[in-house]
């Protein structure tokens, strides 16, 4: 395929891409970096700007997922603060670090350059999706207080009258940005580090292409670094070459996964290591309703009521104190079926609809609830999620998830779907 532009030699050796450029200049510089600056020799890099933007955020059935707490471990070789990742990723990284240290000692690395690629230390790792979502929710609260609720004060006397306003606010917001954690985590506002599958060895500006070229791509040890990363089950990120991401399910990374307690296989991996984000959605909304109202009451402790006073002519305005609420009061005001209906409304808005009528979905979701032998509300949510998860890839793509991205020895890499076999996968 021909290049987008005819790039001069000077541009090839001095990329100047940054987020401060005009749209046209940025397009040129990103094309330059993608097409000619980054070496396209084997092994192929992971492209999270143009290709695998959801890598680690969804499973092979395209459910949004979050790493289980018990699978998170601290990295040993770090720069200056505690850093975490999935347990098998930590093991693979420490083995990779040892390999690069030995290579530096026995002369396989060029020592007349920056030692960043020979003296690897983790600078950043896993970020908590629940904490990240809480920060996201705080921005929703600020919008609620500063804009939406300004015209709603006279409708809110207590928590019972607050609930319809809160529902309306979230439905309105969902038309602009997702409000469920399930869909919020898929936006580019939430970093892919929530997967626990990636580690950074530096914290440079990801938008500065010159830094990428000078610090990494032109480094004489860069090819050794990339090849060695693959040997230990990692793929180097094409757009942020100081980011290492686990290559699921390459033979190398599977060997580290197999060294963990238990008997996790690539077939059971997502079930063993991740939770479905949708199972936290209603819990999150319950907390949101209670917290938003209590914060609202702190700022607006009184409501005004116009009443008739027998002892006074005409009507008078009095102040009525709003009382704080509790989760118990919320549970007394909204049943599980109320939450199911509300959740369907939000997922309908966020997904822009399905081929099914919402009344049909409500009926089946309630049936799932009533026949459940385990967790009724969770079973209803699981069903709703199967209908409203967006197929981020075409449905028949699910049958090609074990196909490799690259062709070459040493196992497959992260795949995009294809017709030939291999050890890697994409999700």
pLDDT for 398: 43
Closest alpha carbon to 425 in 203, 245, 291: 245
17 shares its domain with 83: no
71 shares its domain with 31: no
119 shares its domain with 199: yes
5 shares its domain with 44: no
Distances (CA, A) of 227 to 103, 181, 407: 13, 37, 14
Which residue shows structure tokens 């005819």?
6
Domain span holding position 14: 1-37
pLDDT for 136: 94
Which tens digits make up the pLDDT trace of 393-413? Answer: 554 544 444 343 333 333 333
66 shares its domain with 107: yes
Q: Within a domain: residue 234?
A: yes
Which tens digits make up the pLDDT trace of 9-26? Answer: 555 555 554 555 455 444
Q: Omega before 43 cis (within 30°)?
A: yes
Q: Within a domain: residue 33?
A: yes
Length of the chain: 427
Helices (H), 47-158: 87-105, 129-146
| pLDDT tens, residue order, the chain (427 aa) | 456 555 455 555 555 545 554 554 444 454 544 555 445 554 554 444 444 678 899 998 889 999 999 999 999 999 988 999 999 999 999 999 999 999 999 989 988 876 788 889 999 999 999 999 999 999 999 999 999 998 899 899 999 999 999 999 999 999 999 999 999 999 988 999 999 999 999 998 877 777 788 888 888 999 999 999 999 999 998 888 999 999 998 999 999 999 999 889 989 999 999 999 999 999 999 999 999 999 999 999 998 766 666 666 666 566 779 999 999 999 999 999 999 999 999 999 999 878 889 999 999 999 999 999 999 999 999 999 999 987 665 545 444 443 433 333 333 333 223 322 333 322 2
49 shares its domain with 15: no
Q: Within a domain: residue 365?
A: no
Domain containing 79 — which CATH number?
A: 3.30.1380
Measured between alpha carbons, how far is 93 from 116 in angstroms, rounded to an integer?
Answer: 15
Which residues are registered as beta bridge partners of 78? 122
199 shares its domain with 210: yes
DSSP 378-423: HHHHHHHHHHHS--SS-GGGGGGTT--SS-SSSS--S----SS--S
Measured between alpha carbons, how far is 18 from 30 in angstroms, rounded to an integer?
Answer: 9
Q: Within a domain: residue 343?
A: no
Q: Within a domain: residue 46?
A: yes
Q: Within a domain: residue 361?
A: no
Closest alpha carbon to 234 in 246, 216, 251: 246
Q: Within a domain: residue 412?
A: no
Q: Domain count of the chain?
A: 2
28 shares its domain with 105: no
Q: Within a domain: residue 250?
A: yes
Query: What pTM value is reported for the model?
Result: 0.80
Helices (H), 76-232: 87-105, 129-146, 159-174, 181-184, 209-212, 222-231
198 shares its domain with 258: yes
85 shares its domain with 200: yes
CB 182 within 8 A of CB 385: yes
Tokens of 32: 């330059």
pLDDT for 399: 42
pLDDT for 420: 29
């Amino acid at each position: 395929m021909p290049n987008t532009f005819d790039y001069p030699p000077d541009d090839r050796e001095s990329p100047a891409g940054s987020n401060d450029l005009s749209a046209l200049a940025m397009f040129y510089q990103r094309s330059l970096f993608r097409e000619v600056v980054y070496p396209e020799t084997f092994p192929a890099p992971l492209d999270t700007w143009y290709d695998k933007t959801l890598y680690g955020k969804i499973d092979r059935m395209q459910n949004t997922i979050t790493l289980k707490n018990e699978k998170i471990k601290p990295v040993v070789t770090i720069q200056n603060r505690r850093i975490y990742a999935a347990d098998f990723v930590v093991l693979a990284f420490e083995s990779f670090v040892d390999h690069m240290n030995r290579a530096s000692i026995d002369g396989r690395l060029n020592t007349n350059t920056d030692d960043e690629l020979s003296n690897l230390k983790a600078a950043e790792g896993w970020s908590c999706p629940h904490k990240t979502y809480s920060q996201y929710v705080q921005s929703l609260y600020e919008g609620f207080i500063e804009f939406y609720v300004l015209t709603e004060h006279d409708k809110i006397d207590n928590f019972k009258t607050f609930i319809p306003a809160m529902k309306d606010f979230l439905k309105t917001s969902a038309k602009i940005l997702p409000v469920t954690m399930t869909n919020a985590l898929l936006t580019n506002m939430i970093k892919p580090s929530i997967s626990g599958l990636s580690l950074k060895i530096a914290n440079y500006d990801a938008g500065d292409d010159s830094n990428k070229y000078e610090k990494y791509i032109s480094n004489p040890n860069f090819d050794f670094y990339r090849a060695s990363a693959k040997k230990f089950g990692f793929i180097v990120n094409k757009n942020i070459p100081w980011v290492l991401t686990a290559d699921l399910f390459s033979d190398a990374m599977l060997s580290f996964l197999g060294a963990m307690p238990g008997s996790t296989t690539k077939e059971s991996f997502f079930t063993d290591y991740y939770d479905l984000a949708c199972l936290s959605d209603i819990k999150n909304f319950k907390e949101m309703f209670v917290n938003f109202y209590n914060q609202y009451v702190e700022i607006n402790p009184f409501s005004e009521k116009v009443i008739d006073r027998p002892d006074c002519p005409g009507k008078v305005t009095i102040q009525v104190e709003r009382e704080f609420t509790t989760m118990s009061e919320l549970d007394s005001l909204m049943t599980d079926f109320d939450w199911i209906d509300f959740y369907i409304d939000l997922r309908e808005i966020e997904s822009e609809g399905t081929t099914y009528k919402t009344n049909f979905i409500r009926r089946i979701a309630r049936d799932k609830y009533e026949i459940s032998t385990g967790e009724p509300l969770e079973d209803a949510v699981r069903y709703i999620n199967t209908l409203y998860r967006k197929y981020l890839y075409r449905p028949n793509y699910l049958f090609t998830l074990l196909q490799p991205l690259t062709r070459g020895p040493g196992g497959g890499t992260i795949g995009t779907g294809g017709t030939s076999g291999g050890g890697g996968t994409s999700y």
